[in-house]
Structure 1
């Protein structure tokens, strides 16, 4: 079906220069909502008042052309209100005093608007207000009456349906009569005319559009840099070129990863200033917020005497890996929100780069850990291991040490224990990576195995390295109890399993010590290494006699007492303190042990042999008296 249609309609009554345009009230409601979003609720009041004022002035000028009296014009204003659709009805009372020249001496008018469109639309679009909302209506009334009255007459809304009142009521008086009661509100009646408001709104919208365009372009450039494989320093330099704000990127421990827009001298100055701020506030922060870090999980502004920082975290897999900061040395404006949008996108880019680096680093370290497993299991020949070691950056032809680290495991679920192992594993290889120690790390039987070559150690001894690592772990995990067993220096990669066994033996004899090298075990290490296990057990049974029945709890207490007494060289006071016993209680136990063993514990030959036997049983796992 085809339809052809032609029509032409022209209104003969339309006034071209000042035509009336009809819109539904809901359209004004939508306009009101958009204005609130663009210029804010505070400026909306003046904007709508002047819109109403100019509408009232135009209607008054048209009415004055008819030569009507002031009395009639006062009655005519409410009729125009209704005809324009502003209200459905009105109750109105007015008292006017004129001089002989018909100039207004005093004016007092009160009334109620019935079904104000403005109150209705405000509630629909924005909800209830805390103050009157019929701004175009009071503007219209004020503009109309000021024009017909020949002097400023201002309306004020007293109650309003838009704020929950039962009706919209108003008072209209001369500006002179209002001055004593409306000193705080009069400036609002004299705000920028609507044309200027529109110009300002347009400028604001244009500025916002330009900012959004800049932000989108910024995001595009960052995405391109990430896609091209640029590193964090390159992207930081690009961001500084765009936003012209110095940037510092730090890790979770406040150590700087990179920075841009600062000289090295200035950077060190700001770094020292920030460290001082953290130290001064650390104790207070820990008590009040129970957080380890002063820097936030979300954006924050930090101010010191020398700088101001806008800080946001770098989140990777819901974990804070570091922080991005914009640095302000002289703050000239308050565009934190705009700056934050740039900073947030940069932090997102940094998180992607760090996640990529973290994944590559962890994958490589776990590959090295698997390689250590193969070394300990003797899966390849020595030449093959040395060749493969080159791929990890290690010369396995060099002398080496094997260290076994154990740590206290809390009584938690398997999942929590696994997460703790993963954290400790991650912390371990990151610590040695930062120290420039290229080592192999793996987990075995719930313990951490570390393989360190002499070439990697350079000047520090293996004991010094492990002592520093132990101190670091205690700070990182304050509830932890870390112990280390260190092998003798290894000669020949094919014998790694032997040195692993030495480290395990040393670990079992840590006792009150946190770090025990195998070489300090003396004859105990030699005995166990000789694999003469049956001989050790036979000697132990012969020398310990009835105390060798280690399943009995009372017997175990006596063995623990004997072991500590021998370790302390027979010193009763130290042993009493270690075992939390009274002197009389300790003496009673010693006498009982001597009676059961039929030995004199003051005889050095007897005590030396007994201590050697007890240490051997501990290493073999036959005795647990910790």
Structure 2
């Protein structure tokens, strides 16, 4: 079935330009919802305000063409507003003051809109708002009153049903009066149009695109230079050449510095100014084993009277190794994009330092492996000295072997291994930074050091080790370190023997954390003769049944005997060291004397027993914790 309709209709009475268009209030609610969806809640206020503003101007101009007075215009405006269907009723009061010449001094209009279509439709379509929503109504009132008075008047909604209030209440005043009251939350009368805002956004996007392009070129250039093996100074020169901003790359102590874009004199003056500023401001430093540092946060700005510095840390494997900064003087100030370029510069510096760190640690580990071969006696003297030339360590000089034992808080095997690696790397860096070229490695589960005596006058080996001990105690405060130091070695092929000396000395590191083999006196001589069987035979003879270190009870008796003899028979000190009561200690001493059949207070008996116990400790037969 087909239907065909052909008809032509026209209402000649309707005007072409000003004919009314009938729309329900819900149609405007739909329009409002679509505007929110497309341009956002914040933007529709300005859009609808200007929409209402133009309608108000049109109606006011028509009314003025009728020759109405100002008072009649003020009264007619609300009536036209009702006729438009925007509201169903209004309460309106308006006070106007003129000067003697008839000029308007002030306007104070106020009232209530009854059943605002905007408030009703906003609640229906979008829910309760955080602020008044009758944007078209205040635009209409502002446009009508401004046209009627011939100067800008602005309406402001005080309360609104769309915001959950009981009524839509408003005020109209001149723009000048609002300004005098320092009102900043007026309607969007002077807000940027959407087109202007889009133009501004486009300009910003274009600027951001240019910045990203420059940043990408900058990053590529730095990457190429780093891959080409360029030095830190060459990188700094390239950064300055591209950005024309003076750049400074410093170490943690702010003493060693690489800079570009500054003369030597300028750099020294700015460095002094920065140091004085930091001292004056009492800025919070981070204490480290290398001295004072700035906090390791990115993009810190330090401003003095003569300079401004944008600073970011140079990080290598989560450790701060230095700082990279841009320097600004005079009227020049940092731009937002400078942070991006500075971070790229710091990244390039980090890669260079990581490469240097990797090469340094690889070389030191190679030296550590060489040390392990020396201590196991795998090479003869000639081979050791020949290979030692590749390590830059003169192994023909006298030397000491030091063994370092450590107890770390780490419990798992993985954590212990990580700590061992960290300690090894710390030792590498410490002696390198102090200008000492030594051999460092792991051997028999302990840290081993081979330190040669230089021809120049230096401090003793014990002082050097004490300094190193203090350093690692600060760096690893939870760990306990003990050191054993060998006698001076004259021939490198005897290094395994001196390693044994260092281990023997380590066994006596109880109250003293650093023990020299030389301090053991006659004990060292006895052990060094390799007369171990004779020592064990004497121990069996003098200690009798107590000489069974695998029996916990007897091992405890030997420990008690050793502490008692080391304290020269002083009961109070021994009681404190062993955490025993006086009666318990006396009982234990009496029992030991009965087992041994000896008087422990006899100097000769006590000295002989103490010598035997020390020899057992040196041999590793007895452990005193």
Please indicate the TM-score interval, normalised by the length of the shorter structure: 0.7 to 0.9
Structure 2 distance, partners of 1:509, 1:603, is 24
CA shift at 1:254, angstroms?
7.2
Equivalent position of 2:592 in the other structure = 593
Which residue of structure 1 lines up, in the alignment, with residue 316 of structure 2? Answer: 316
Once the two structures are overlaid, the 10-residue window that deviates more, 230-239 or 520-529, is 230-239
Match of 2:268 in 1: 264
Equivalent residue, structure 1, for 2:561: 562
Query: What number of residue pairs does the alignment pair up?
Result: 577
| Change in CA separation of 1:118 and 1:239 when aligned onto 2, cut-off 3 Å | farther
Q: Which runs of 5+ in 1 are unaligned?
A: 1-12, 15-23, 83-88, 286-291
CA contact 2:94–2:110 (8 Å) conserved in 1:
no
1:317-336 mapped onto 2 (5 Å cutoff): 317-325=317-325
CA distance in 2, matches of 1:479, 1:31: 61
Structure 1 residue 175 corresponds to structure 2 residue 174? yes
CA RMSD of aligned residues (A): 4.9
| Corresponding residue of 1:401 | 400
Equivalent residue, structure 1, for 2:624:
625
**Structure 1 residue 595, shift from structure 2 partner:** 3.3
- Matched with 2:231 is 231
Deviation at 1:360, TM superposition (A): 2.0
- How far off is 1:569 after superposition? 3.9
In 1, Cα distance between equivalents of 2:130 and 2:366: 65
Q: Which segment is superposed worse, 341-350 or 324-333?
A: 324-333
- Is 1:97–1:107's contact at 8 Å kept on the other side of the alignment? yes
Matches within 5 A, 1:205-604: 215-239=215-239, 242=243, 244=245, 247=248, 249-251=250-252, 258=258, 261=262, 263-268=267-272, 270-271=274-275, 274=278, 295-300=295-300, 310-325=310-325, 337-410=336-409, 412-455=411-454, 459-581=458-580, 585-604=584-603
- 1-structure distance, mates of 2:282, 2:94: 72
Equivalence for 2:117: 114
Deviation at 1:407, TM superposition (A): 0.9
Deviation per CA, 1:405-434: give whole Å up to 9, x if none: 011133611121112112111111111111
Moved more, 173-182 or 598-607: 173-182
Note closer, same or farther for the CA distance 1:97–1:143 as it changes in structure 2 (3 Å cut).
closer
Contact 1:222-1:349 at 8 Å conserved across structures = yes
Structure 1 pair 546–155 and aligned structure 2 pair: CA distance change class (3 A) = same
1:356 Cα shift?
A: 2.1
- Contact kept? 1:113, 1:168, Cα under 8 Å: no
Q: Counterpart in 1 of 2:3?
A: none
Looking at structure 2, the residues matched to 55 and 205 of structure 1 have their Cα atoms a distance apart, in angstroms, of 32
Aligned equivalents of 1:118, 1:322: Cα separation in 2: 62
Distance 1:276 1:551 in 2: 64
Structure 1 contact 49–138 (Cα < 8 Å) conserved: no
Picking from 93, 106, 129, the partner of 2:90 is 93
SS state of the match for residue 454, structure 2? helix
Q: Is the 8 A contact 1:507 1:516 kept in 2?
A: yes
Q: Is the 8 A contact 1:48 1:139 kept in 2?
A: no
Judge which range, 90-99 or 408-417, deviates more. Answer: 90-99
Larger CA deviation: 530-539 vs 107-116: 107-116
1:441 match: secondary structure: strand
TM-score of the pair, normalised by structure 2: 0.74
Structure 2: how far apart are the matches of 1:240 and 1:494? 54
Q: CA deviation at 1:346?
A: 2.7
Rate the CA distance shift 1:79–1:359 in 2: closer, same or farther, 3 A. Answer: farther
Give the superposition deviation at 1:61.
Answer: 8.7
SS in 2 for 1:455: coil
Instruction: Give matches, 1:152-171, under 5 Å.
Output: 152-159=152-159, 165=164, 169=168, 171=170
Which of these two proteins has the greater Rg computed from alpha carbons?
A: 2
Distance 1:264 1:106, change over 3 A: closer
Matched residue SS, 2:353: helix
Q: Scaled by the length of structure 1, what TM-score is found?
A: 0.74
Residues 521 and 78 (structure 1), Cα distance of their counterparts in 2 relative to 1, 3 Å cut: farther
CA–CA separation in structure 1 for the residues paired with 2:108 and 2:487: 108
Residue 520 (structure 1) shift:
2.1
1:472 to partner: Cα distance: 0.8
The structural deviation recorded for 1:151 is 3.7
- What do the CA deviations read for 1:461-499 (whole angstroms, capped 9, x no partner)? 221211110111111111221111112222333332222
Asked whether the 8 Å contact 2:112–2:167 carries over to 1, the reply is: no
SS in 1 for 2:431: helix
Question: CA deviation digits over 1:586-625, x for unaligned, max 9?
Answer: 4554444333323333444433322221112112221112
- SS at structure 2 position matched to 1:416: helix
Counterpart contact for 1:369–1:442, Cα < 8 Å:
yes
Deviation at 1:274, TM superposition (A): 3.7
1:259 CA drift (Å): 5.4
Judged with a 3 Å threshold, the aligned counterparts in structure 2 of structure 1 residues 137 and 257 are, in CA distance, closer, same or farther, namely farther
Query: 1:310 touches 1:325 (CA, 8 Å); kept in 2?
Result: yes
Provide the rounded CA distance (Å) in 2 between the counterparts of 1:97 and 1:550: 109
- Is the 1:46–1:191 contact (alpha carbons within 8 Å) kept by the matching residues of 2? no
Give the secondary-structure state (helix, strand or coil) at the position aligned to 1:511. Answer: coil
Give per-residue Cα distances to partners, 1:298-339, cap 9 Å, x unaligned. 555567999876543434344444444556788986x57544
Residue 281 of structure 1, CA deviation: 6.8
Say whether the 8 Å CA contact 1:49–1:189 is kept in structure 2. no
Distance in 2, matches of 1:614 and 1:116, equals: 98
